[in-house]
Every structure is written in C-alpha cells, then in structure tokens.
Amino acid sequence: MSEVGGAGKDNDVVGSVDLTGVTKRFGTVTAVDAIDLHVFPGEFLSLLGPSGCGKTTTLRMLAGFEDPDEGQIKISGTSVGGVPAHRRNVNTVFQNYALFPHMTAAENVAYGLRQKKVDRAEIGRRVGEALEMVKMSKLAARKPREMSGGQQQRIALARALVNRPSLLLLDEPLGALDRKLREEMQIELKLLQSQVGITFIFVTHDQDEALSMSDRIAVMLDGRIEQLADPDTVYDNPASAFVAGFIGKQNFFEGTAREGGSTVEGDGWTIRSSLEPVGAVDGRGALAAVRPEAVKVADAQPPEGENAISGELASIAHLGDVIQFVVLTPGRKEVIARLPRLGAPRLQVGGRVWCTWDAGSTHVFGAEQAEIVLADPASDEAAAVAG
C-alpha cells in the first residue's frame, strides 16, 4: 500500500488538506464541531485558540491519532478515513520533541528512514541534508541530554523533514523554550518552511506566534472556526468579539447599541464607530472595542466629535519601543493606551487625562458577542479533552 499523499499526486494538490463537516466527540463533550477547512499546498496555517477550543484534537485527527465521528478528511486529494498514522505521508513535531535519549542527533534523524529500509548511502545523504537545513551538522554526534532545548527542537524538525512529508504538523513545538529563543525560532521556522515548501499546520495558543509566522490563521472556539483569514485581516477586522479580544490587546466598553450599531452609549459616555457592526441591535447590549495603539492620551480636553473618555492616569509602563498608559475612568474602567516611545506625551501619574481615538478604529459587537467575551470561553471539562 502506498502512502497517502505520496508520489503520483498532481503538484497542485500535494500537501493540500480538506476537512468537510468534521466532528469529534469525547463522551458528552463535542471537541470539534462540524468544521470545514481547506489548506493550500505549501501554506503555513496556524490553528489558534484557548485550551479546549479543539485545535489539538483537529491536529490529532490529521495525524491519524484520532478518528472523526463524522465528516471526511482528505490529504493531498485523497481521503485518509481508516488510514493509520504510519501510512500517512504526514509527520508531527511535538512540544516535548520525543527524541530517543540513547541515540545521537544523526541517529534520531535517521530512525524513520531505517524503519522504511532506505539504502544506507541514501540515509547518510538525506540525514546530512536535513541536519544542514536546521544548522545542526556540527552536533550530529551529540545525544539529546547534551543539547539545549532549542537544539533538540531543531533535531526534531530534521527528523520530521527527512522523510519528505507532504504535510508537517506542529503541536506547540516552541512552548518549552524561553521567550528570546522562542522568538528566534519563530523566524527560523518560517524561513525553513518557505525553503522546503512543505505545508505546515501549526497549533498554538500564542497569538504572537500565529501572527508572526502564518500565511493564514484559523481562530477556534468551542470546536468551531470563528475566523479564517490572513494575520492582517484577523487583527484589523475581527469577525467576532471573541477574535477581537483573543488576538492582541483590546479595550472593551459595554453599553447599549444606538443608530444601528454605529454608536454605543454607556454611563456618561458615547462611542461612535464608522465600521460595520457585528450583530448589534438598537436598544440592546453591545460592546465597543478599540486597540490600545489606536488610543491617544493627553492632559488637555479634546475638541468635540472625537471618541473621548477622561480619567485618572493610574500607571505608566515602559515596554521597549512603546509606552503603556493605564487610565482609570470614574466608573473604575481601565483604558489602556500604547504609544511609540518617540513622541509620547510627558504625563504625571495621578493627573487627569483624556483618552481619544477615531471612529474608524472602533469595532462594535452585539449582545451575544458580549456574552462570549465576558464569560470563560472554555470549560475545564472541554479543556481536558479537546486541546
């Protein structure tokens, strides 16, 4: 039996992934709820969401570690229903790397090829290429205990890539690394993916990882895909209040929708939006949302017509190239503003200030969306099984 997604497939489908109506349940918990998803060949797609959203379960079904209860999965144009994990042309890199401790780096990378009984000379050539690709040739003779976490991760990647899969699945592979190394590996992983041209599906709960590396992001909640789009679209035009709050920092203002959702009124304030509202109904609850980088702070009252809320400057924090201001309004609502260090105003903690932003930076979401944002998005039970 040939491997699914291997030789014989047209180039325009090799590495493609199609999920149609895929559902997975664990007892009474629906971990993945009838999702449809198409991944293009050679794409870097991230599955992003909180614990329990279904992203890891989706990855495990693609790998063949779990079977869907309903729906169909195709890899490289061929259904993989009933095909065991070892017969799929798919490799997985896990967070703990799963390296054999008694083997050297080269032996770990060669393991899969030896299992396939590839010719010894060919194994040597391909292992050398894989180690060179991840910049680990000089450490070929070391064992995992003699390597750092970042080096072990590179070996895990080389072991996965040496088999030349049409699809590489990555289950939070950077989660065990410290921040500086994780950021370095984000850059290298994306460059590596561009170099090899293999389809990557990357599972993460880290929004910065997804934004920095992905061609597209599938934001998941409660087993469903809330939004599937490129990073700029997901960040600038969130499809729901959950996406708006989960991707990046957001200031939310809870009030009542007016004027078809172009205005939200609260206790002593009115916020206007020039963007299309999502689910807002006049007279019902609504959320206005604005990102901290869109908010300006000043100690002078702004002219009429701008969105403006006044309050006490509670804190100033230096975050590298930006300065964060936290303003406490009379209703004890915190408003966060993040301004470039160069040109940021000089203000005193404890003084009265005004936060202003324009209508084009304000998104409005209806009452049902507000409930999602203000409640816990994933139950402990779901988180335990869905991932």
- For 59-86, write each residue's pLDDT tens digit: 999 999 999 999 999 999 999 999 999 8
**pLDDT tens string 339-350:** 999 989 999 999
**226 lies in the same domain as 299:** no
Overall number of domains in the chain: 2
Any domain includes 65: yes
Helix, strand or coil for residue 201?
A: strand
**346 lies in the same domain as 255:** yes
Asked whether the predicted pLDDT for residue 386 surpasses 80, the reply is no
Most confident of 11-15, 33-37, 93-97, 263-267: 33-37
**97 lies in the same domain as 179:** yes
Task: Tell me the one-letter amino acid at 146.
Answer: E
**208 lies in the same domain as 357:** no
**266 lies in the same domain as 212:** no
**225 lies in the same domain as 151:** yes
**32 lies in the same domain as 181:** yes
Any domain includes 46: yes
Cβ contact 347:297 at 8 Å: yes
Q: What is the pTM of this model?
A: 0.86
Any domain includes 224: yes
User: Could you give the strand order of the β-sheet that contains 322-328, starting from the edge strand earlier in sequence?
Assistant: 296-298, 352-357, 307-319, 322-328, 334-340
- Phi then psi for residue 35, to 5 deg, are -85, 145
Domain-ending residue, one of 182, 203, 236: 236
CA pair distance 107, 251, nearest whole angstrom: 51
Any domain includes 2: no
Question: Which CATH number is 278's domain given?
Answer: 2.40.50.100
Any domain includes 308: yes
**269 lies in the same domain as 230:** no
**203 lies in the same domain as 304:** no
pLDDT band of residue 373 (cuts 50, 70, 90) is low
Any domain includes 12: no
Question: Which CATH number is 161's domain given?
Answer: 3.40.50.300
Residues whose CB falls within 8 Å of the CB of residue 96, separated by 6 or more in sequence, listed in order: 176
Task: Please provide the average confidence, as pLDDT, over all residues in the chain.
Answer: 88
Cα of 365 vs its chain's centroid, Å: 22
Any domain includes 262: yes
Domain-ending residue, one of 211, 236, 261: 236
**43 lies in the same domain as 160:** yes
Which H or E run contains 337? Answer: strand 334-340
**pLDDT tens string 257-278:** 999 999 999 988 999 999 999 9
**227 lies in the same domain as 312:** no
**pLDDT tens string 195-231:** 888 999 999 988 989 999 999 999 999 999 999 999 9
**228 lies in the same domain as 256:** no
Q: What is the mean pLDDT of residues 192-196?
A: 86
Q: Which domain holds residue 88?
A: 17-236
Any domain includes 5: no
Cβ contact 93:157 at 8 Å: yes
Longest dimension (CA), the chain: 77
